[in-house]
Amino acid sequence: MLPFRRILVPIDYSAPCQAVMPSVADAARHFSSELTLVHAYGPEALAASDLALSNPDLPEEAHAAEQARLEDFAREEFPDRAVECVAALGEPGTVIKDLIHKQGADLIMMSTHGRGPVRRLLLGSVTAKVLHDVTTPVWTGLGGAFAGRPAVIPCRSILCALDHTEESECVLRAAAALAESFGARLALVHVVEMPPATWEIDVTNLRSSLMEAAQFQLRELQSSLGIQATHNVVEGAVAGAVSREAERVHADLIVVGRGHAQGAVSRMWSTLYGIVREAPCPVLSM
């Protein structure tokens, strides 16, 4: 995963998009990365032209205008570095996916779109599609302040959320590599989701067994990889529990896996989206 040699940044010129540009600049500076900005535009760009819709030069003129706008944005946001700019006609998620297929990327950095209570109800459609469709690590954030704290790169504290899947080892290795690169504290969390208690079922013994098993797994995983970090096992709904643990350890970044079975309505994806929506800091999913 590391180092991030090429960072791809989707641009839609919205306020949330502009708010994450300082974090993009900080990441590119820290990792000495190449930057590629991509903007996907739709038929409205054609309608904005003075040319008639039947004019064969219309698509070329619209593309030139969108390309120029993106290059102006790059010069304003990143005045001290060379930035590749790609404007393309099409649906944003598809344009991003196709660009990654053609030239590759080590990291995608983008905003989630949404603030306050609204953010807990929805995730931007482009963000959701990118998280679901691509295998490249994705950094998502709102920019500016999270829970009263500024987004920080280099990070000072990283929380790695782990589960019982096979990818946990890769996720932990990545989080540890990031922590070493940033000189950051690393903390681990595993969330145990318990079934609701009823008068028919006593979950006390089950809860104790699950918590102990999770503690054992975290210790074994750390030992096998030679990674030193504090760890905690908590109970609750995954998204909310990870958010609370991030607050407790003052995390500047949450690292979490995305899995391999990318089913459209799978529980894994609803959990990931919940973590991204409720996180008090940026989330790096891989």
**Cβ–Cβ under 8 Å, residues 53 and 25:** no
Class of domain 1-143: alpha beta
- 124-160 per-position pLDDT tens digit: 678 888 888 888 999 998 755 454 455 678 899 999 9
Apex 275 CA angle, 274 and 281, nearest 5: 135
Q: For residues 184 and 235, what is the distance between their CA atoms, to the nearest angstrom?
A: 26
For the chain, counts of helices (H) and of strands (E): 11, 12
Q: Where are the domains of the chain?
A: 1-143, 144-286
Domains 1-143 and 144-286 share a fold: yes
pLDDT at 162: 93
Check whether domain 144-286 has CATH 3.40.50.620, yes or no: yes
> Which stretches of the chain score pLDDT less than 50?
114-122, 145, 147-148, 261-267
pLDDT at 271: 83
